[in-house]
């Protein structure tokens, strides 16, 4: 039985599925899942099939879509995802900082509560966003201060610089994760984040232990 036949068998038998994980699935045809009318969560992490994601437009109950390391995200696929205006969670995560796909069209998904993207996107429209992961692009840092509902922020290899040190305005965050950063530019500012409940720091540039996390604020 081929992968496609196995998937058809699953979808015609388990018609009440609400969650489907097809991580690293290599079939060229996923159209069978459109029969799963109750599907809410779909994970196709690491998939490599050369099909655009047009079949997604039929899945009007889908709320969570995970495309972590999905290898082929062309403009047609982005357009299909953009039609899923009911989505509340979208993960477009890549390990490659040279990711080139244009994901700006995803800005129309204004109902998102959670979003991860490796490329620049207009975050000003996501007023309900509660959890976000930014990768590689420091321009994304500009949006954090203007997203009062954002509580959980992860930064993956996003370089801070003197022109974009806005951490003191991120007072609404309760969780912050920063991977691969320069401690001298970041750690002295963390004392502003008095609402944090969880902090995760991972630096490959320096020894963070020599910095005090909560130094007194300089006098005005």
Q: Tally the residues of the chain.
A: 220
Most confident of 64-78, 100-114, 151-165: 100-114
Are 110 and 158 in a shared domain? Answer: no
Least confident of 22-26, 59-63, 127-131, 167-171: 22-26
Are 96 and 176 in a shared domain? Answer: no
Are 83 and 30 in a shared domain? Answer: yes
Give the model confidence (pLDDT) of 33-67 as tens digits: 889 989 999 998 877 665 678 888 889 999 999 98
Longest distance between any two alpha carbons in the chain, whole Å: 72
Strand runs labelled E in the chain: 19-21, 41-43, 64-66, 89-91, 114-117, 131-135, 152-156, 175-179, 198-202
For the chain, what is the domain count? 2
Are 134 and 214 in a shared domain? Answer: yes
Three-class SS of residue 84? coil
pLDDT reported for residue 171: 92
Are 99 and 162 in a shared domain? Answer: no
Are 210 and 110 in a shared domain? Answer: no
Domain containing residue 97: CATH number:
3.80.10.10
Give the model confidence (pLDDT) of 144-163 as tens digits: 888 889 999 998 888 776 66
d(CA 121, CA 135): 11
DSSP 117: E
Share the mean pLDDT of the chain.
80
Are 114 and 153 in a shared domain? Answer: no
Q: Average pLDDT of 63-75?
A: 80
Query: Domain range spanning residue 188?
Result: 130-220
Give the model confidence (pLDDT) of 191-219 as tens digits: 889 999 999 887 654 444 444 444 445 55
């Amino acid at each position: 039985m081929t992968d496609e036949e196995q998937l058809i068998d699953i979808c015609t038998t388990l018609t009440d599925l609400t969650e489907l994980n097809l991580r690293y699935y290599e079939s060229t045809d996923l159209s069978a899942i459109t029969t799963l009318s109750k599907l809410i969560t779909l994970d196709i992490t690491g998939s490599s099939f050369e099909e655009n994601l047009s079949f997604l437009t039929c899945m009007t109950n889908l709320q969570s879509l995970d495309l972590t390391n999905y290898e082929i995200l062309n403009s047609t696929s982005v357009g299909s995802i953009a039609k899923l205006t009911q989505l509340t969670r979208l993960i477009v995560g890549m390990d490659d900082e040279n990711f080139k796909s244009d994901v700006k069209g995803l800005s129309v998904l204004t109902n998102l509560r959670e979003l991860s993207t490796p490329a620049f996107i207009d975050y000003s429209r996501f007023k309900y966003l509660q959890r976000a992961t930014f990768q590689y692009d420091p321009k994304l840092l500009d949006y954090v201060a203007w997203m009062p509902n954002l509580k959980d922020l992860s930064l993956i290899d996003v370089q801070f610089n003197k022109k974009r040190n806005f951490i003191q305005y991120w007072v609404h965050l309760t969780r912050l994760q920063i991977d691969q950063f320069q401690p001298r530019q970041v750690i002295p500012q963390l004392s502003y984040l008095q609402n944090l409940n969880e902090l995760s720091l991972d630096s490959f540039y320096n020894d963070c232990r020599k910095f005090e996390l909560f130094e007194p604020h300089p006098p005005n």
